[in-house]
Structure 1
Amino acid sequence: MNCEQIALEELHVERFQLKEVLKILLHSIIFQRALGECRLRDVDSELFDISYVRCDSRLVEARVEEHAEAFSSAIERGARVSLAFFERRARQAAFGLFRSEERVVWERWTIPLVVVPNFAQLHRHMGGAQMPPGAHGAGRSTEADSQDEESRRRQASLEAVLRRRIEFILTVASGRREHIPPADGLGGEALWFEISTDADSWSGLDLLKQLLSSPPQLGSG
């Protein structure tokens, strides 16, 4: 089976936005590939003025939350987050004595992320505006207002980009369906997707946790 490859455009996010951005995009994609019976749930973002749809499943929500939390803590500069959907197939071993299961990936989404400095932190790092003695009160107010305005502008810009990404996901998911396997090969109540990243800056502890919590590597199909 050929694996369909879909890549989103690169996203530039501040660290405090990373977890919520991942949750929005991962849930939006997973819901579009939740074959068979799946209840939906409309969700308002905790950080952005955005509503999106996710599977009404504790198992799915727990897995997305787990990975979004881990990645948001471990990704330092940038990474590509991969969301792979797989089909379970029975495989007969040598001499027909044993049967095992293989996972065949039929679709993979890539989410490239770049972590950018927080505007307020960047401003402090660069030294900010030097105020003359006796002018600290008015100066601080003006400087804070400027920082708040820039933060709001950046937040609104990212919201607009996320809306376009969600629209792209809906369009692509509905337009590419010929490669989707039958729903009965997805394992019933078990998960039919895996989330991973190629982040170049995992700490040793984060990497160990990731390896221990991940099943064996999926086949490439």
Structure 2
Amino acid sequence: MNCEVFTLPPLRCEARQAKEALRALTHTILLARALGPCAPSDVDSALFPDLTYVTCGDADVERVVEARLGAFASWTAKRGRDVARRGGDAREIYARVCVSFFERDRGDRGGGLGGSGSGSGAWEQWRIPIEVTLESGDGGEGDDAAAARAREERSLALRDEIRGAITHALTLANERVAHVPPVTRAGAVSFPFEISLPGDGASGTLGTLRRVMLASSPPAMLT
């Protein structure tokens, strides 16, 4: 089966912002492919002001998403420690989080709620490139009012990028449906899915991903 691949605009964020940014986009993607009965729930971001995203309202989906985002945060922290241990001066971590959907006859994959894996055999995959800026550790005297304002401006810009990515994902999901298999199960999880992280296996694409992100312009908010 051919796999339809959607790549969202790259996100650039601080380590403390990565989970919330990925949380908003992951839930948006999962809701877009929740084609059975579900109870959508609006969520106001606890980190970004005036940012609201929608989940499919399923507790099991929420549990899987949080577990995978926790694993991503752990992987990011480990990469940061590795850089510090080697005495490197790299301040960014480049990664890609993927959400893949499968047909039910390819295996139940834990009742449709999947975690790690290679994504082979998927009929659709969403790729979220992300650049995580590591903490510099020099926030003492330099963390003045001007620096605080600059940090707030970057946070608001990231919020707008997340909004744009949400709009872009929903537009793609609504317009590109010819490849979507028939729904054969009831409930919020219409298709088995998995959320794959760079720490799940070989990550030979990360060098290429870094070059792509360095060459790309920050995504504009879609209107």
TM-score exceeds 0.5: yes
Aligned partners of 1:15 and 1:115 also within 8 Å: yes
Would you identify which runs of 4 or more consecutive aligned residues in structure 1 move more than 3 Å? Answer: 185-191, 199-202
The SS at the match of 1:37 is coil
1:22 and 2:22 aligned: yes
Distance 1:189 1:177 in 2: 17
Change (3 A) 1:112 1:186: farther
Distance 1:12 1:28 in 2: 19
Number of the residue aligned with 1:54: 55
Counting strand residues as a fraction of each chain, which structure ranks higher?
1
Number of the residue aligned with 2:94: 78
Distance 2:179 2:121 in 1: 12
Q: Which has the higher contact order (CA 8 A, sep 6+)?
A: 2
Amino acid paired to 1:39: A
Number of the residue aligned with 2:70: 69
Pairs aligned (count) = 174
Structure 1 length as normaliser, TM-score? 0.71
175-184 or 188-197, larger mean C-alpha shift? 188-197
Amino acid paired to 2:60: L
Number of the residue aligned with 2:44: 44
Structure 2 length as normaliser, TM-score? 0.70
Change (3 A) 1:177 1:86: same
| Unmatched segments (≥5 aa) in structure 2 | 80-92, 108-119, 203-223
1:110 and 2:127 aligned: yes
The SS at the match of 1:177 is coil
Change (3 A) 1:185 1:3: farther
Aligned partners of 2:97 and 2:197 also within 8 Å: yes
Name the larger-Rg structure. 1
Number of the residue aligned with 2:179: 179
Amino acid paired to 1:108: Q
Superposed, 1:137-176 pairs within 5 Å as 144-176=144-176
For 1:97-122, what per-residue CA distance to the aligned partner results, in whole angstroms no more than 9, with x for missing partners?
A: xxxxxx9411000011111134xx36
Q: Shift of residue 187 of structure 1?
A: 9.1
Amino acid paired to 2:74: S
The SS at the match of 1:80 is strand
Distance 1:22 1:108 in 2: 15
